[in-house]
Amino acid sequence: MITTTPTTPFEGQKPGTSGLRKKVRVFRQPGYAENFIQSVFDVAERPDGSTLVIGGDGRFHNRTVIARAIEMAAANGYARVAVGQGGILSTPAASHVIRKYGASGGLILSASHNPGGPDEDFGIKYNIANGGPAPEAVTGAIHARTQTIDRWLSFEGGAEVDLDRIGTAQVGDTLVEVIDPVADYADLMEQLFDFAAIRAAVGSGRLTMAFDAMHAVTGPYAHEILETRLGFPAGTVRNGVPLEDFGGHHPDPNLVHARELHALMMSAEAPTIGAASDGDGDRNLVIGKGIFITPSDSLAMLAAHARLAPAYAGGLKGIARSMPTSTAADKVADALGIPAWETPTGWKFFGTLLDAGLATICGEESAGTGSDHVREKDGLWAVLLWLNILAVTGKPVAQIAAEHWARFGRNYYARHDYEAIDTARANALMAALEDALPALPGRSFGPLAVTAADQFAYVDPIDGSESRKQGVRVMFACGSRIVFRLSGTGTEGATLRVYLERYEPVGGRLDAETPAMLADLIAAAEAIAGIAAHTGRTAPDVVT
């Protein structure tokens, strides 16, 4: 029976960079998740007979919301719901399942790299029929709907679906299918990459690896793909059992939160490659023996070698990167004679380029890389492309990097995050920065002369949609750049991100230490934005 529950709007249900993210205690308020999900169903394009995909990263509160989402989908007239066994689907796997099943969309329950548990974070994201995150027009409509919503619909019985058993169940007129969360995705990876070459390199002992799943969603995917299908020995996948609280850690694959992996990779016992993935499996960290590869460099190096993988043997159509991502990938695009696209932060901006066949590979400085095989960034995909390249070339990661920089020059790069700052102070900093922009060109900070300064605005080349205020950019005569923006994924106060980039051309200092190379830029960032004065912080919380 369909039940109509009256409700009133909650403030602040505005999706950020990647869905609605709040503390679990916020999501636990009666009607909170229901209001948001009903708003999605009220505005989403979903013709009669539509399928909805549901899956999450296994964090605390996942199952509760999934049970309710199934009841609500049934009451809202979906013909079919496909849900990952145990409520699990990594974000890239969900994207693939949406596409493969011809679904009209999907709900992904995750707060990605944010910590999980009763006192930590939860999130809901809606993806559209192309498998990608809803674009701003859709998230805007969802938000508008959350402000007027007055009822939500549910069909009693969703909670009786056994999420742990693969099979089908009927909830009202809706067929609920509990599907294997790994199989479809693993099969797709096997089509894209040269598994035979990787298996041979692994079997001969030439290619070794350590993969840290961070007790997050990629554990089962990595076990199946890396150990079972590619033959890496048992134990290659560490922290491979998904936990509701990720073992108390941040499932954020960076040098701070994947410290142990980094220490291993810098030691004498290091395998050929070390990798990690985040809460929902869409990010990747890649560390070669003795060398960390920045995500921006990884994007460029993967693009430069992509032809070695069967799926990309015919070449790339274009490379897209988010604005704060270093310009290393642009140089590869240039050399390949293909377009380089620059979009605002967030994977949703790559969707139209991928759908139109204008880009094949995309990436963000925040450890996201992916291709047109799905419409999300894809952590294991990036790791597999690296493995494919290492297996076919037989070169160590350090050599691939050295050769890349010798050919294209090197973009020294770092991101400084100031977390949980008072929101009013963060907004004041950005407002002051914006006011200062017109007067910046012509000024110098130490050896750095400003040539241009603006707020990044983007017009989507396919659908013409405009996105303003996507980050403040300060450009210098030497080609260096600083970008300032506020995070759209945090759940506590505001997070200021400062992105620092310095280019060294071919023949320049290509093997220096990053902090030394960026010291002038770090000082300039402080002088330009007054970070200490505004926030009271004298050093970033996280440097990646």
Sole binder of Co ion in the list 136, 278, 372, 376 (CB under 5 A): 278
| Residue 68-107 contact track with ligand VG1, rule CB under 6 A, x = bound | ----------------------------------------
CA distance 536 to 204: 55
Helices 379-393 and 183-192 meet at what angle, rounded to 10? Answer: 30
- First and final CA of the chain: distance in angstroms? 51
Stretch that binds ligand VG1, among 360-368, 405-413, 475-483, 530-538 (CB under 6 A): 360-368
Identity of the residue, 71 or 278, whose beta carbon is nearer to ligand VG1 in the bound complex: 278
Given ligand VG1, Co ion, none, residue 140, with its beta carbon under 5 to 8 Å by kind, binds none
Options 47-55, 104-112, 289-297, 409-417: segment touching Co ion (CB under 5 A): 104-112
User: Rounded to an integer, what distance in angstroms lies between the CA atom of residue 493 and that of residue 422?
Assistant: 5
Q: Binding segment for Co ion among 147-155, 244-252, 279-287, 292-300 (CB under 5 A)?
A: 279-287
Tell which one of 99, 143, 331, 497 touches ligand VG1 (CB under 6 A): 497
**Residue 364 within binding range of Co ion, rule CB under 5 A:** no
Residues 79-116, buried b or exposed e (16+ Cβ, 10 A)? bbbbbbbbbbbbbbbbbbbbbbbebbbbbbbbbbbbbb
Active site residue 112: yes
Considering only residues 136, 364, 372, 501, which one is a binding residue for ligand VG1 as defined by CB under 6 A?
A: 364
Task: Determine the length of the chain.
Answer: 544
Contacting residue, 282, 297, 330, 504, with ligand VG1 by CB under 6 A = 282
Cβ of residue 64: shortest distance to ligand VG1, in angstroms?
21
Residues 109-148 that bind ligand VG1 (CB under 6 A): 112-113
Binding-site member from 212, 224, 282, 504 for Co ion (CB under 5 A): 282
What residues pair up with 454 in beta bridges, in sequence order?
Answer: 473
Gyration radius of the chain over CA positions: 23
Q: How far is the CB of 369 from Co ion (least distance, A)?
A: 12
Which residue, 238 or 283, is less far from Co ion as judged by CB? 283
Among 112, 146, 296, 470, binds Co ion (CB under 5 A): 112
Q: Which residue has the tokens 């869409």?
A: 282
Q: How far is the CB of 44 from ligand VG1 (least distance, A)?
A: 20
Distance CA 345, CA 363 (A): 10
Q: Can residue 366 be called a binding residue for ligand VG1 (CB under 6 A)?
A: yes
Note the helical H segments in 50-194: 62-75, 91-100, 136-146, 183-192
H-type helices in 396-468, by residue range? Answer: 397-408, 423-436
SS (H, E, C) 496-541: EEEEEEEEECCCCCCCCCHHHHHHHHHHHHHHHHCHHHHHCCCCCC
Which among 112, 277, 371, 480 is annotated as catalytic?
112
Give the shortest CB-497-to-ligand VG1 separation in angstroms.
6
* Angle subtended by helix axes 328-336 and 295-305, to nearest 10: 10
- From candidates 35, 345, 371, 467, binder to ligand VG1 by CB under 6 A: 345
Binding mask 394-423 for Co ion (x = CB under 5 A): ------------------------------
**143 forms bridges with which residues in the sheet?**
none
71 contributes a contact to Co ion by CB under 5 A: no
Contact criterion met (CB below 8 Å) for 354 and 132:
yes
| β-bridge partners, 455 | 472
Which of ligand VG1, Co ion, none has residue 17 at its interface (CB below 5 to 8 Å by kind)? ligand VG1
383 contacts 282 by C-beta, under 8 angstroms: no
What are the C-alpha distances in Å from 442 to residues 340, 476, 531? 28, 10, 21
Contact segment (CB under 6 A) with ligand VG1 among 54-62, 230-238, 361-369, 423-431 equals 361-369
Burial of 268 from C-beta contacts in 10 A (0-12 / 13-18 / 19+): exposed
283, 375, 404, 473: which one binds ligand VG1 (CB under 6 A): 283
- Residues of this chain that interact with Co ion (CB under 5 A) are 112, 278, 280, 282-283
- Residues of this chain that interact with ligand VG1 (CB under 6 A) are 17-18, 112-113, 278, 282-283, 322, 345-347, 364, 366, 368, 487-489, 497
List active site positions. 112
